[in-house]
Amino acid sequence: MFIDREEELALLEERLRSGKTQFIVIYGRRRVGKTTLILEFLRRHGGVYLLARETSEAENLERFSLRLAEYFNDSFLKKNPLRSWDAFFEYISTKAEKPLIVAIDEFPYLVKGNKALPSILQEYWEMRLSKGKIFLIISGSSVSMMERLLGYKSPLYGRRTAQLKLKPLDFFNAREFLPKYPLEDFVRVYGILGGTPAYLLEFSDEKSIEENLKGYFRVDSFLYGDALFVLREELDEPRNYFAIMEAIARGKTTLGEITNDTGLERATVGKYLSVLIDLDLVRRELPVTASRKSRKGRYYIADNYFAFWFRYVYPNADMIESGNGELLVDAVMADIDHYTGGVFEGVAKEFLLRLNKHGELPFKFTKIGRWWHKGEEIDLVALNEREKKALFVEVKWKELKEKEARGILKDLERKAELVGLEEWEKYYGLVAKRVEGKGELREEGWQVWDLRDFERLISSKAQL
């Protein structure tokens, strides 16, 4: 099942068409779809796929030799496997006199087995491979290790010709995995699973959310166990990181709140938050009009799967471990719409970004985010600073009567004056689950959308 990744594939294919030697690094968190992207590229253009395992160097070399022997129909290599990375790169170099795509997946496993491997690759790249016709891809799931391999102190620094950091799919592409759910239910599911393909495949849209959650809340469930697996792979001191992420999941979003909730030192929390941000596990948001140096930052878990896991699963692990996970389902479903309210703000932002791309807004914005100050908050503010135009939007995970919608928009006008954008051209909008009288409100000049407009966007993408 290959969904989305058109931009990433287009980049790889553009590099291939250039005819130049390429050294491309693809990385991103586990389960995000790196291998599927690489295999789709190889399916279209041919090449050798080599998957590293967390095993001995000799075994990986033997397996790679077998794959190369099969690809090149080399009976000698099949009987006499390569015994060193020097021999491996020497062999690849001789074959790269003609155009050749080679993809080495989970490269960090090889580095664990031989710390000198980046230096060996550097030498062969400079002396042989870069002068041939190779299209080399290395990939890895350990974000921290891959970024060290790309860093200034690494022998591979400056050798890559391109890099791709894969992130989870957005709401509209994730929708393609579970198309039978009513869109309202899929918003809830997206809040539970996020956009990681492997997680989306664990749910069935032939079952209710409750039925799927019963499968999730089991000790042998992939969805239950994978959060621990991914985080322990990336983090050296998981206990403190877990405490911070659990605090954020409970709504503690400022540095002070997180510090008080965890009992950790403020400087320690700041250090750990920096690591979590680098790993794309946490994001820091500022009011959209604030400078980057502002101290008004708020912290949020960046991926819905981890936000849900730390809010509902991690604090109730004892219930799941004791085989009583089904008892958790009712409690989660009773709170799910409260949780989904925050998720829907993110989905609404993705929706506006798509409208902006297609030119379906009153102006093209260049910046979008939340705004808050002294207890007042606006869910989304989109700005074009050059043209001095602003769109203020409230997001409500509710079905609204026309009177309610009108009241929200009128209050939004009041709050917008507090932002301080004098002499700007201002527009006011509302995104909700459903809005009664949407047409009449639009005729009066308000920007109003609900899930029916999301459906239209999804259906127009499907037709393309």
Helices and strands counted in the chain (H then E): 22, 12
Contact criterion met (CB below 8 Å) for 447 and 435: no
Torsions phi, psi for 31 (to 5 deg)? 75, 5
Q: What is the mean pLDDT of residues 237-266?
A: 94
Strand partners, 390: 383, 426
Q: How far separated are the first and last CA of the chain, in Å rounded?
A: 18
pLDDT digits (tens, 9 = 90+) for 48-72: 999 999 999 999 999 999 999 999 9
Cα gap 174→10, rounded to integer Å: 19
Mean pLDDT of the chain: 93
Could you give the CA distance from residue 108 to residue 138 in angstroms, rounded to a whole number? 9
Residue 203, burial from CB neighbour count under 10 angstroms (0-12, 13-18, 19+) = buried
d(CA 62, CA 56): 10
Beta strands in 131-196, from DSSP E residues, in sequence order: 134-140, 162-165
**Cβ-contact 164, 103 below 8 angstroms:** no
**DSSP letters of 18-63?**
TTS-EEEEEE-STTSSHHHHHHHHHHHH--EEEE--SS-HHHHHHH
For residues 31-44, give the mean pLDDT: 92
Residue type, position 220, single letter: D
- Please give the pLDDT value at position 1: 53
Give the pLDDT confidence score for residue 287 in this predicted structure: 95
Burial class for 357, CB neighbours closer than 10 Å (0-12, 13-18, 19+): exposed
pLDDT digits (tens, 9 = 90+) for 324-377: 999 999 999 999 999 999 999 999 999 999 999 999 999 999 999 999 999 999
List, edge to edge, every strand of the sheet that includes 367-373: 367-373, 376-384, 389-400, 425-435, 447-450
pLDDT value at residue 3: 64
For residue 299, what are the β-bridge partners? 284
In the predicted model, is pLDDT for residue 151 greater than 90?
A: no
What's residue 271's pLDDT?
A: 92
Tens digit of each residue's pLDDT (9 = 90 or more) over 298-318: 999 999 999 999 999 999 999
Q: What separation in angstroms does the CA of 217 have from each of 122, 228, 330?
A: 46, 14, 12
Domains in the chain (CATH in brackets) are 6-165 (3.40.50.300), 171-344 (1.10.10.10), 361-463 (3.40.1350)
Residue 14, both tokens = 């553009």
187 touches 344 (CB < 8 A): yes
Closest CA to 377 of 361, 393, 398: 393
Percent of the chain with pLDDT over 90: 81
Cα separation of 246 and 25, whole Å? Answer: 32
Q: What is the pLDDT of residue 423?
A: 92
Over residues 177-221, the pLDDT tens digits come to 999 999 999 999 999 999 999 999 999 999 999 999 999 999 999
Q: Quick one: average pLDDT of 115-121?
A: 92
